[in-house]
Amino acid sequence: MYSDLQEKPNVKQIVILASGSGSNAEKIITHFREQQTAKVSAVFTNKSTAQVLDRCKRLKVPAYSFNRESFVGTDQLLGMIQSLEPDLIVLAGFLWKIPESFIQAFPNQIINIHPALLPKYGGKGMYGSKVHEAVKENGETETGITIHYVNEHYDEGAVIFQAKTKLTPEDTPDTIAQKVHELEYEHFPKVIEKLLTQHGE
């Protein structure tokens, strides 16, 4: 697992936490395989049936599922992630709140992507289609993505990057989701790469 790291000691390590299909995780994995400035050393999911596990198997990236007890009840998962010595922990569609022990262990090293322009449409329960339905219901003329640092509160960490997309009255929650996904796929790997470069300076 670590043989290529010995050849490239400057390769940064990324750990991804995901809860769902893993489309963003796959974009990040493939982006850094091409760039070779960093690599995704492991993916962790809180759902044993999450599609991200299938993606990781196909992409030959180590992937593990875990339960709530190992996440918040013990330091088991924290210890596993610490052993990988990640430069950045990336939440890519991960829905559980991050425990304070993680935030203390990895200060300014945990980032999240949110499918709206925070501070709008953030907070507990605001994820995925629920965000897009609320955006549609309120007749917003634009939406977008927010990449931010993770702190002890949902969606309240310092904003790193935002990108916007225009909406029309004809847009549905599904078409809004498509527009937001396009922004995620375009920008998330690039923002991660920029952060890792800054961390190395």
The residue with tokens 């990057």 is 161
Closest Cα partner for 197 from 32, 2, 25? 32
Q: Which of these is catalytic: 114, 148, 181, 187?
A: 114
For the question of residue 148 being annotated catalytic, the response is no
Q: What is the DSSP code string of 87-104?
A: SEEEESS--SPPPHHHHH
Q: Beta strand pairing status for 110-114 and 142-149?
A: antiparallel
Token duo for residue 39 = 């690599």
Dihedral angle sign, alpha carbons of residues 18, 111, 131, 100: positive
Question: Which residues are known catalytic residues?
Answer: 114
